[in-house]
Amino acid sequence: MLGFRVLVVCAGVAALAGCARATGGALLPGGAGTATHSSWIQPDVKKKSLLYVSSVLSNDVYVYSYANQQLVGTLTGFEQPYGLCADKTGDVWIVNDGAQQIVEYKHGGTSPIATLSDSGEYPEGCAVDPTTGNLAVTNFYSTSGNGSVSIYAHASGGPTTYSDPSIANFRFCGYDDKGNLFADGATTSSEFAFAELRKGGSTLTNIALQQKVEWPGGVQWDGKYVAVGDTDAGILYRTNGAGGKVKGSTTLADSNYVNQFWIADKSVVAPSQDGGDVGLYTYPAGGAPSKTISVEEPFGAALSN
């Protein structure tokens, strides 16, 4: 489905800059290439912190030991896995765009324990509400037109869908510690857009971010601020959320097209889709990565503890 996404986005239906680009012929982690293979994970890693990274080239999600960045597993069978998110118990949700689904795995598991349908939508990112366990999913577009935000109560059943006339394409989302949801995306003219769905609210409220963002990237609560990424610039902006004020920035040096990042304590994991690696950076200082993991066309990342 990546070819379809590229066609839709680049050929004029959405007419957006910064669309995903496919490359081929590269070796994947473990020398897998593009051959069909089964999910696997080392049995001795389930008590360790695990880093999950999706690849839009291989349609797989790679699992690494977070402590030493060694490959310890591969999850297969996806149709364009994009954004990832994890809940407090360590369960990982994987956005399966081509199948219009969101798939849940236990920490260290190799088989899905739940699959939620996002029928008619093309999901891009997700986030779990720490106060309720609700799952939010951002939809880039739908079969009927603009994108939306789908909320699955307690991460189960069917979704309640929210749209915003000012946002044509949603990209990513993140909850703060109070259960307020923040989401970014693009207008019909490809301008950055930002909005909030307050806890218990029924409508998205637009936020005028006091910073120019070239192309919307990840959104995540860092413990104090709502971090918003600029995919093209490789910069994360620390914002006060609904106020739209920028309190600081983190530059991800040597990155190239960072979609969905993951902040954990004093580190940030940044997949560099066009750079072919995943960088581990000090947060919020940024600068050059302390370590990198080679992954072709990495898109999203999530840490499961």
Along the chain (305 residues), what's the average pLDDT of each consecutive run of 10 residues?
38 38 34 61 94 97 97 97 97 98 97 97 98 98 94 97 97 98 97 97 97 98 98 98 98 98 96 97 98 97 97
Angle at 227 between CA 226 and CA 229, to 5 degrees: 145
Q: What is the pLDDT of residue 37?
A: 77
Largest CA distance in the chain: 50
Phi and psi torsions of 25, nearest 5°: 85, 0
Q: What is the pLDDT of residue 36?
A: 53
Q: What is the pLDDT of residue 106?
A: 97
Rounded to whole angstroms, how far apart are CA atoms 260 and 241?
Answer: 18
The alpha-helical segments, DSSP class H, found in the chain are: 2-10
- Judging by DSSP bridges, how do beta strands 81-86 and 92-96 pair with one another? antiparallel
Q: Does domain 2-304 have CATH number 2.60.40.3140?
A: no
pLDDT, residue 177, reads 97
Query: Domain coordinates of the chain in residue numbers?
Result: 2-304
Where do we find the tokens 């880093």?
51
- pLDDT score, position 145: 92
Give the side-chain half-sphere CA count within 13 A for 183.
37
Non-local (6+) Cβ contacts of 241 within 8 A are 176, 180, 182, 196, 207, 225, 226
Q: What is the dihedral of CA 85, 138, 54, 94, to 10 degrees?
A: 50
pLDDT at 13: 36
Answer for the pair 119, 157: CB distance below 8 angstroms, yes or no: no
